[in-house]
Amino acid sequence: MSETGGDQNRGQNRGQNRGRLAGFLPYQLSVASNAVSDLIAERYRKRFALKIPEWRVMAILGDHGAASAAGEGAMTQRALTAATLMDKVAVNRAVKVLEERGLVARVPNPIDGRSHLLALTGEGQAIHAEVMPLALATERDLLAGFTPEQQSMLRDMLGAVRMRAGELTRG
């Protein structure tokens, strides 16, 4: 990410790609996301036998503070689907696999008896605790060529794009 020639090349690429798929921002975001997801998935699959949807479910439950299978910090599957921005079928499949492996448990929802809450089990929490340092190391590897200011700008811009996409989705 050197400053010499970087701006000039970006400008040239922007002009060359205008109207073409390679220059289409949603396509660029999708390709970048897939490349990063593939890298992370390979690292998780080798060590923990987790696929991307399974890890996303575990990450959200872990970040949400799911401290026990007794319902502390647990989430409904609907809330989990919203938090992961994944299709509900993909979330359902991931939860089923994680339940079968004993990493996630369903517990009764004390507020709504028609639904269940999902929480990491003790084993799920242990894997989550092991995966997070690996995830942070992968992030450091990915951002190694960026200055702290560029990293901050990237995060801010991605957040703004996500927020705007949400606004447009809601109409």
Instruction: Report the percentage of the chain scoring pLDDT > 70.
Output: 84
Instruction: Identify which of 81, 41, 37 has the alpha carbon closest to the alpha carbon of residue 57.
Output: 81
Sheet holding 116-120, edge to edge: 75-76, 116-120, 104-108
Q: What pTM did the predictor assign?
A: 0.73
**Greatest mean pLDDT among 22-26, 79-83, 148-152:** 148-152
Q: What is the pLDDT of residue 117?
A: 92
- Considering only 99-103, 111-115, 146-150, which range has the smallest mean pLDDT? 111-115
Q: What is the pLDDT of residue 88?
A: 92
Q: What is the pLDDT of residue 3?
A: 42
Q: What is the pLDDT of residue 9?
A: 46
Domains of the chain: 24-170 (1.10.10.10)
Binning the chain into helix, strand and coil, the percentages to the nearest 5 are 70, 5, 25
* Alpha-carbon span 133 to 139, nearest angstrom: 10
> What average pLDDT score do residues 114-126 get?
91
> What average pLDDT score do residues 84-95 get?
93
For residue 100, what are its two tokens? 């079968």
